[in-house]
């Protein structure tokens, strides 16, 4: 054995000599890939990068997902019985397997084997293999800190048919979790049978998750060439780091089927705007945002601060504890002083993060901090009920007290901040001066791009001067601003939309090209020629890729149904709407679209049943009654239609669509012009500058012989054209 080992060692040494490497050098870009997608695994990194690998081992990335066994499972499976929110659990072991028996709130009972662990602290979740390649995340979770089983949605009783139930879409690993817990994840979703053939190169988040496939890098290292291209991603600047980190640390929408390391974020994802369904009105975190959406609001982001300026990229731990982390950049003489934070030094109240990085518990016990690094604004809290750091600590005080304290310590004037525009853009009845202020804001480059994009999304565009600001935004340096601006032109005529879209079909960023394609869904490609046609086909293919890449989500299926509906493929639209409801029967917007699709193919019975189901699920909503009214008009059931529209108005006093349709009905054939005048008058009281409403009122006046009043309206409409 010894001579054999010695011979092997000599051969290995000779094969690695410099001279031999140089003589055997082949161009790396032309070498054939031996490993799947070029991923070699983290063991190949140890020899050269031992320090980094040791830091990574035991980190949240390293332990992101593991096969369930005696070493990896932290939860108590020693014959434990517990009942949480009406669900009974019995945790036990059978041979080498970890088993949980569950009695649901509907008294159904079943045993499940734990196949994988998910995460390590402060909580650990567990995965169960299901049919069709699906893995589901148990709702019951192990609290690693307090050593107990708990529910993340404490107090909620979730029925087995609900989308939020752990066996349904909200807790499906393939859709909701997999891409960010494993390396080189390929979801491989089959839209035809709603199944998965998901694969990965490494079960956890390893070196290649951030640095990209390393096969060519290994060849580069072995060749000892002077080639400056190391064939590995290094993340040396902010953009490169965010292209790696933000892919998972962001609430976003996929634009492509699979993540490609190193590619620009906005060629693969669309970040969620800071709208009030995920954030507080001023942009502070509310629902989980996974950091990017809040970080993009910050001055840190604007100044080019990188993730690893604060976090060790391999261990993921903070580089320093306490204020020392912030004082890397912020001059201690100005900031590490009681004259700045007005609290006693070396206390919790004197820590920068407790004033500028407030946080919130997610998943039951996982405290995460807001990365927008904002100055507390209790004055906004007084007016808009937004949170502020002062009251987070001084729980016995009021927002008014905190606002007064800020003035006493820092003066009357608050620095201009994008949150003022965000809050204003969500308000109703904005006056002309406020609207002009917001129009200017969206093109003011000193404010964060994500805030400007959000204000565009929040606003309604009707007036010519408002569109003028959007035209400027179409050429903004930010892709998300350009994208959101494009979508606001959807209410224009087809000719106008085509003209605008074609100018952006060849944008350098995929997100914007997709926005241009969304603007002209349904456009016949044969109406275009040359480069316009080529650009349109490319952009449309990218849009379709985005839609199919998200089709495993119930919301994605709805959007795919919308796409088919707009392309007049009603059968495919119905198919995808039905699948969306199969995945989540509480996704209420689908009912409206599905009923519309059914009525377009004259299946009025299914359209009516769809609306009835919607009314049953959402009895306080007026819109299904409005749609049922239109459906009854279509079937000449006029009395039933009128009754449904009246119910719609009763439920929603601002339902101008129902008012307009009632006015139109009473106007036609001179049925009842006084009733027509009443309902169109009600509509104009809600929307007093709507030209369609004004034109109908003019027609009603003409029918009543009020020629002078009719002519006044007609002249006004002509002047505004």
Please give the Cα distance from 171 to 177 (Å, whole number): 8
pLDDT tens string 179-209: 999 999 999 999 999 999 999 999 999 999 9
Q: Which domain holds residue 151?
A: 65-205
293 within some domain: yes
Residue 562 has pLDDT above 60, yes or no: yes
500 within some domain: no
Kindly state whether residues 81 and 94 are assigned to the same domain.
yes
- Cα 505 to chain centroid, rounded: 24
Q: How many domains does the chain divide into?
A: 3
> In this structure, how many other beta carbons lie within 10 angstroms of the beta carbon of residue 213?
24
By the 8 A CB rule, do 39 and 214 touch? yes
608 within some domain: no
pLDDT value at position 29? 76
Residue 479 confidence class, pLDDT cut points 50, 70, 90: very high
Phi, psi of 344 (to 5 degrees): -65, 140
pLDDT value at position 228? 87
Kindly state whether residues 362 and 315 are assigned to the same domain.
yes
623 within some domain: no
661 within some domain: no
DSSP E strand boundaries for 202-327: 252-254, 269-271
Please give the Cα distance from 32 to 541 (Å, whole number): 30
By the 8 A CB rule, do 85 and 141 touch? no
pLDDT value at position 430? 94
Question: Which tokens go with 455?
Answer: 């204000």
Rounded mean pLDDT, 454-464: 93
Task: State which of 187, 205, 223 marks the end of a domain.
Answer: 205
Kindly state whether residues 182 and 260 are assigned to the same domain.
no
Residue 30 has pLDDT above 80, yes or no: no
Kindly state whether residues 227 and 315 are assigned to the same domain.
no
End-to-end CA distance of the chain, in Å?
95
141: part of which helix (H) or strand (E)?
Answer: strand 140-143
403 within some domain: yes
Residue 5 confidence class, pLDDT cut points 50, 70, 90: very low
Please give the Cα distance from 473 to 443 (Å, whole number): 6
> In this structure, how many other beta carbons lie within 10 angstroms of the beta carbon of residue 310?
15
Residue 6 confidence class, pLDDT cut points 50, 70, 90: very low
Task: State which of 381, 413, 445 marks the end of a domain.
Answer: 413
Kindly state whether residues 283 and 363 are assigned to the same domain.
yes
pTM (2 d.p.): 0.92
102: part of which helix (H) or strand (E)?
Answer: strand 97-103
Phi, psi of 40 (to 5 degrees): -105, -15
pLDDT value at position 34? 84
Please give the Cα distance from 389 to 359 (Å, whole number): 9
Please give the Cα distance from 406 to 326 (Å, whole number): 22
Question: Which tokens go with 607?
Answer: 């359209």
Rounded mean pLDDT, 147-156: 95
Question: Which tokens go with 118?
Answer: 């998910």
Kindly state whether residues 191 and 227 are assigned to the same domain.
no
Kindly state whether residues 305 and 341 are assigned to the same domain.
yes
Query: Tokens 């290995």 — which residue?
Result: 12
Kindly state whether residues 307 and 246 are assigned to the same domain.
yes
Residue 376 has pLDDT above 60, yes or no: yes
CA atoms within 13 A on the CB side of 603: 14
Lowest-confidence pick of 22-36, 203-217, 300-314: 22-36
Task: State which of 361, 395, 413 marks the end of a domain.
Answer: 413
pLDDT value at position 434? 97
463 contact partners, CB below 8 Å, separation of at least 6: none
Kindly state whether residues 96 and 180 are assigned to the same domain.
yes
Kindly state whether residues 134 and 216 are assigned to the same domain.
no
Kindly state whether residues 141 and 210 are assigned to the same domain.
no
Kindly state whether residues 256 and 405 are assigned to the same domain.
yes
């Amino acid at each position: 054995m010894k001579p054999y080992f010695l011979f092997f060692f000599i051969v290995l040494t000779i094969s690695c000599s410099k001279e031999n490497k140089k003589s055997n050098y082949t161009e790396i870009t032309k070498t054939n890939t031996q490993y799947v997608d070029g991923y070699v695994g983290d063991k190949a990194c140890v020899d050269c990068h031992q320090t980094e690998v040791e830091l990574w081992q035991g980190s949240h990335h390293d332990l992101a997902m593991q096969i369930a066994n005696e070493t990896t499972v932290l939860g108590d499976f020693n014959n434990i019985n517990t009942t949480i929110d009406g669900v009974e659990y019995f945790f036990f072991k059978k041979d080498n397997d970890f088993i949980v028996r569950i009695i649901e709130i509907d008294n159904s009972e079943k045993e499940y084997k734990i196949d994988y662990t998910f995460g390590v602290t402060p909580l650990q979740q567990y995965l169960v293999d299901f049919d069709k390649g699906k893995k589901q995340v148990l709702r019951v979770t192990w609290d690693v800190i307090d050593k107990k089983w708990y529910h993340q949605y404490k107090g909620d009783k979730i029925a087995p048919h609900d989308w939020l139930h752990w066996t349904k879409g909200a807790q499906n690993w393939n859709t909701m979790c997999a891409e960010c817990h494993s390396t080189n994840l390929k979801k491989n979703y089959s839209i035809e049978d709603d199944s998965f053939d998901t694969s990965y190169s490494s079960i956890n988040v390893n070196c290649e998750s951030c640095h990209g496939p390393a096969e060519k890098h290994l060849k580069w290292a072995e060749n000892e060439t002077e080639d400056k291209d190391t064939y590995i991603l290094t993340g040396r600047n902010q953009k490169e780091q965010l292209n790696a980190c933000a892919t998972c640390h962001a609430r976003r929408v996929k634009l492509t089927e699979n993540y490609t390391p190193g590619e620009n974020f906005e060629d693969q994802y669309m970040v969620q705007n800071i709208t009030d369904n995920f954030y507080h009105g001023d942009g502070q975190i509310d629902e989980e945002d996974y950091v990017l959406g809040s970080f993009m609001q910050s001055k840190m982001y604007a100044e080019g601060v990188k993730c690893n300026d604060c976090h060790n990229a391999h261990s993921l731990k903070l580089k320093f504890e306490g204020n020392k982390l912030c004082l890397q950049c912020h001059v201690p003489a100005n900031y590490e002083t009681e004259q700045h934070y007005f609290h006693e030094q070396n206390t919790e109240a004197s820590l920068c993060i407790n004033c500028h990085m407030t946080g919130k518990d997610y998943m039951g016990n996982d405290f995460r901090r807001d990365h927008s690094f904002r100055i507390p604004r209790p004055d906004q809290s007084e007016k808009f009920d937004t949170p502020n750091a002062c009251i987070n600590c001084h729980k016995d005080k009021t927002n008014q007290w905190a606002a007064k304290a800020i003035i006493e310590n820092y003066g009357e004037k608050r620095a201009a901040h994008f949150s003022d525009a965000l809050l204003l853009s969500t308000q109703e009845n904005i006056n002309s001066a406020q609207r002009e202020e917001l129009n200017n804001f969206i093109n003011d480059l000193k404010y964060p791009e994500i805030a400007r994009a959000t204000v565009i999304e929040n606003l309604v565009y009707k007036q010519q001067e408002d569109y003028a600001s959007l035209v400027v935004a179409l050429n903004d340096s930010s892709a998300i601003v350009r994208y959101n601006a494009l979508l606001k032109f959807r209410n224009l005529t087809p000719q106008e939309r085509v003209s605008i879209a074609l100018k952006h079909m060849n944008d350098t960023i995929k997100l914007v090209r997709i926005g241009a394609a969304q603007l002209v869904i349904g456009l016949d490609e044969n109406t275009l020629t040359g480069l316009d046609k080529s650009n349109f086909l490319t952009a449309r293919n990218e849009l379709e890729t985005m839609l199919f890449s998200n089709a495993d989500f119930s919301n994605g299926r709805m959007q795919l149904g919308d796409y088919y509906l707009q392309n007049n493929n009603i059968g495919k639209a119905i198919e995808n709407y039905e699948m969306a409801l199969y995945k989540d029967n509480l996704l209420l917007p689908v009912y409206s679209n599905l009923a519309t699709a059914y009525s377009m193919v004259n299946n009025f019975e299914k359209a009516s049943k769809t609306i009835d189901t919607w009314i049953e699920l959402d009895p306080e909503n007026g819109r299904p009654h409005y749609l049922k009214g239109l459906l009854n008009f279509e079937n000449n059931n006029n009395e039933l239609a009128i009754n449904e529209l009246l119910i719609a108005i009763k439920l929603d006093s601002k339902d101008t669509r129902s008012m307009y349709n009632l006015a139109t009905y009473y106007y036609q054939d001179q049925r009842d012009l006084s009733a027509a005048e009443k309902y169109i008058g009600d509509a104009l009281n809600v929307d007093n500058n709507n030209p369609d409403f004004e034109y109908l009122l003019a027609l009603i006046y003409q029918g009543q012989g009020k020629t002078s009043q009719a002519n006044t309206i007609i002249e006004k409409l002509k002047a505004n054209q």
